[in-house]
Structure 1
Amino acid sequence: MKIYFAGPMFAKSDLLYNEHLVKQIRALEDSIEVYLPQENGAINDKTAYADSKMIALADTEKVLESDLLVAVLDGITIDAGVASEIGVAYAKNIPIIGLYTDTRQQGSDNQKKLAALGTTAENQFHYLNLYTVGLVKLNGRIVSDEDDFLTLIKKQLTS
């Protein structure tokens, strides 16, 4: 199975988290091939040069070759490149699994947090772009836990 890993990749913390998740995915089964864009030095070595067309063509080719796209949805907003990769996968009916670990999603039954929604600038929850979320949900699922994320990937191996 070919998996495209979409995740933010510009902060050291992003790079390390991506490596952490991909290591776990690769350990699921020997037949899994994971494309992690940050490992493609031809377009993502930031000390070198790759123009926008080179990056778009290389990553789009890998999305289109994939059997599954997995995406990290964390961040201030969903990373623009991740959102684009999700759009390509959706358009080609490639299954998508999103991982959204932001802790602000917790407490959805807390009455004080819910009441705060009616007060300007007191939203206690994190917002994700609903268009991008909808594309993921139309072709797959979003989970908030790494174990659930890996379990869904395992299920894709047998389907």
Structure 2
Amino acid sequence: MPFYVAHRLFAAHDRALAADLADRLAIKVGPDRVFLPFCDTDEEDLVAEVKGRRLFELDRDRLGHLDAMIAILHGPSLDDGVCMEIGYAIASGVPVVVLTTDFQTYSMTEAGTRLEFPDPILQAVATRIVRVATLGPSPLPSVPGQSRFKGFQARNAAQTSTAIDTAIDTLLDLPGRVPLPTASPVIPGAAVYVEPSPYLSRRMGHLAESLAGGGHTVVEPQRFTAPDPIAGALADLAAVRAAARLLVDVSGPETPPGAALLIGAALASGVRVAAFQSYPAFTHAHGREPNWRNLMIQYAVDARLSSDEAALSWLVA
């Protein structure tokens, strides 16, 4: 079983960072035990009738059968494909190390608990978090004519190098498969869990009311309002895995990170998932079909819905 390197795919510097990490990990465990998406799915040369779906299938087939995952997440806008992969791995008992060099921490209120990520569910489920938040040491005093930008580049390169090596050491120190973090769900088995988008929460609140008015038992997130956001996040994860269905608003520039993670956990747990998106925006990549969301999200869900009526129909289908 391999080690899976989950990372943002869409820019050269992200792929280069992940390749550096994968190469260093391969030196320690052997190249055949490291899987690097995009690289190892031969994305540039892959030919398939529906290329995006095939890429999703190749990655999903590996996610539940890993020794461990190492996931790279930086900044407040977290890659939804990576978050979905984390959710799938965690729900499959795979330990996950999350690597970040973000120098910010986050909280639900001004004086609230400080968190490593904007959504507390990522901190709640990660087996380990490696956070290297400061630049490397200052270089030697500059000499006349030497660019200060080179010195700053060197400090960032040193920070990245430290983060990668620390994350790999942490990964190799992990135990085997780990029990899923749990909290007892206090929901009926036939409930539908409704996850709003932070970009359009008012509309999703209306949808939850509409579903409840249609006779459905609706469960909504706890983690953003609970006194203990980590406990609330674990309760949300347990509720999703115990629900009959998961309905997620994926509206916004990308699927919100917690929503993406819950989609992955639901898929691994056999819970049917629908995405609610009134106004889709499509992405286009060479050789792929148009995607209305990250392909790991698009192909994890059973249906894409755009109205209250469609949601009600899906729940009885």
Q: TM-score range by the shorter chain?
A: 0.7 to 0.9
Amino acid aligned to 1:10: F
* 2:136 is the counterpart of 1:149: no
Amino acid aligned to 2:169: T
Tell me how large the CA RMSD over aligned residues is: 3.1
Amino acid aligned to 2:77: T
In structure 1, how many angstroms separate the alpha carbons of the residues matched to 2:99 and 2:53?
28
In structure 1, how many angstroms separate the alpha carbons of the residues matched to 2:51 and 2:91?
24
Tell me the equivalent position of 2:28. 28
Tell me the equivalent position of 1:121. none
For residues 104-130 of structure 1, give each alpha carbon's deviation from its aligned partner in whole angstroms, at most 9, with x where no partner exists: 34xx9xxxxxxxx47xxxxxx984322
Q: What TM-score comes out, normalization by structure 2 length? A: 0.39
Deviation at 1:64, TM superposition (A): 1.7
Tell me the equivalent position of 1:92. 92
- SS across alignment from 1:40: coil
Gaps of 5+ in 1: 109-116, 119-124
Distance 1:3 1:130, change over 3 A: same
- SS across alignment from 2:38: helix
Distance 1:11 1:48, change over 3 A: farther
**Contact map agreement 1:28 1:154 (CA 8 A) in 2:** no
Gaps of 5+ in 2: 133-162, 178-317
**Contact map agreement 1:73 1:98 (CA 8 A) in 2:** yes
**Contact map agreement 1:63 1:85 (CA 8 A) in 2:** yes
Moved beyond 4 Å, runs of 4+: 46-50
* 2:124 is the counterpart of 1:134: yes
Amino acid aligned to 1:154: L
- SS across alignment from 1:104: coil
Amino acid aligned to 2:168: L
In structure 1, how many angstroms separate the alpha carbons of the residues matched to 2:123 and 2:52?
25
Distance 1:141 1:58, change over 3 A: same
* 2:14 is the counterpart of 1:14: yes
Tell me the equivalent position of 2:77. 77
Q: Which has the higher contact order (CA 8 A, sep 6+)?
A: 1
Distance 1:91 1:157, change over 3 A: closer
**Contact map agreement 1:77 1:129 (CA 8 A) in 2:** no
Q: How many residues align?
A: 140
Amino acid aligned to 1:148: T
Range that drifts further, 70-79 or 85-94: 70-79
**Contact map agreement 2:6 2:85 (CA 8 A) in 1:** yes
**Contact map agreement 2:67 2:176 (CA 8 A) in 1:** no
> Of Structure 1 and Structure 2, which has the larger fraction of its residues in helix?
1
In structure 1, how many angstroms separate the alpha carbons of the residues matched to 2:23 and 2:32?
11
Amino acid aligned to 2:57: L
**Contact map agreement 2:71 2:96 (CA 8 A) in 1:** yes
For residues 38-90 of structure 1, give each alpha carbon's deviation from its aligned partner in whole angstroms, at most 9, with x where no partner exists: 21344x32896654422221111111221101100114422111001001101
Distance 1:87 1:150, change over 3 A: same
